[in-house]
Amino acid sequence: MTDRKAPAKAPPAKATPVEPRPVDEIDQRIITLLTGDARLSARAIARELGMSPGAISERIDRLEASRIITGYHATVDIAALGFPVRATISVRVGRGEDTLTGVIDKLMAIRNVQTVKLVTGEWDLLVEVVVPDNAQLREILIGTVSQCPGVTATATVINLETRRRPGAWSPI
């Protein structure tokens, strides 16, 4: 475990602009280390950066207080839990803010939905789902998503592989 307390739960994501907060190279390195392994202790980070654990703890506290670090998460192998199929559903929604909000709320209520992203371009939403097999994907597409009031079209791709670079947030 770590030797720091968890920050308060992050509020739901909103489409409001966020004022960038300045961070120095040390803060960036701390963030990169924590995005690679959220269980790192302040002591382990301090050893890596050649600093005192107290100084690292203060920096982490400041990053949490300023909402740059909004939480700590476990990475789960969803396939090991019986959901080896990951797909992205592009969704077109009829016009109107209430329609869009309603569709997003309905999609987020589906157990297999991992994320719903509001996007620009030909489609309005990108919906990431995980399922045990193609039959379950078909049921979600035909029986749930396509039947959702406000949904006018969908297109689906099955993700064959996903790679994520540790610390991928980093501009360095």
Q: Give pLDDT, residue 168.
A: 62
43 burial class (0-12, 13-18, 19+ CB within 10 angstroms)? middle
Q: What's the predicted TM-score (pTM) here?
A: 0.74
Q: What is the rounded CA–CA span in Å between residue 71 and residue 54?
A: 20
Domains of the chain, earliest start first: 25-65 (1.10.10.10), 81-159 (3.30.70.920)
Return left, alpha or beta for 82; rule: phi > 0 is left, psi -120 to 50 is alpha, else beta.
left
16 burial class (0-12, 13-18, 19+ CB within 10 angstroms)? exposed
User: Model confidence over 41-76: pLDDT tens digits?
Assistant: 999 999 999 999 999 999 999 999 999 999 998 888
Q: Give pLDDT, residue 134.
A: 96
Are the beta carbons of 2 and 40 closer than 8 angstroms? Answer: yes
Q: Give pLDDT, residue 156.
A: 97
Q: Give pLDDT, residue 10.
A: 40
Low-confidence ranges of the chain (pLDDT < 70): 1-18, 166-172
Q: What is the rounded CA–CA span in Å between residue 113 and residue 102?
A: 15
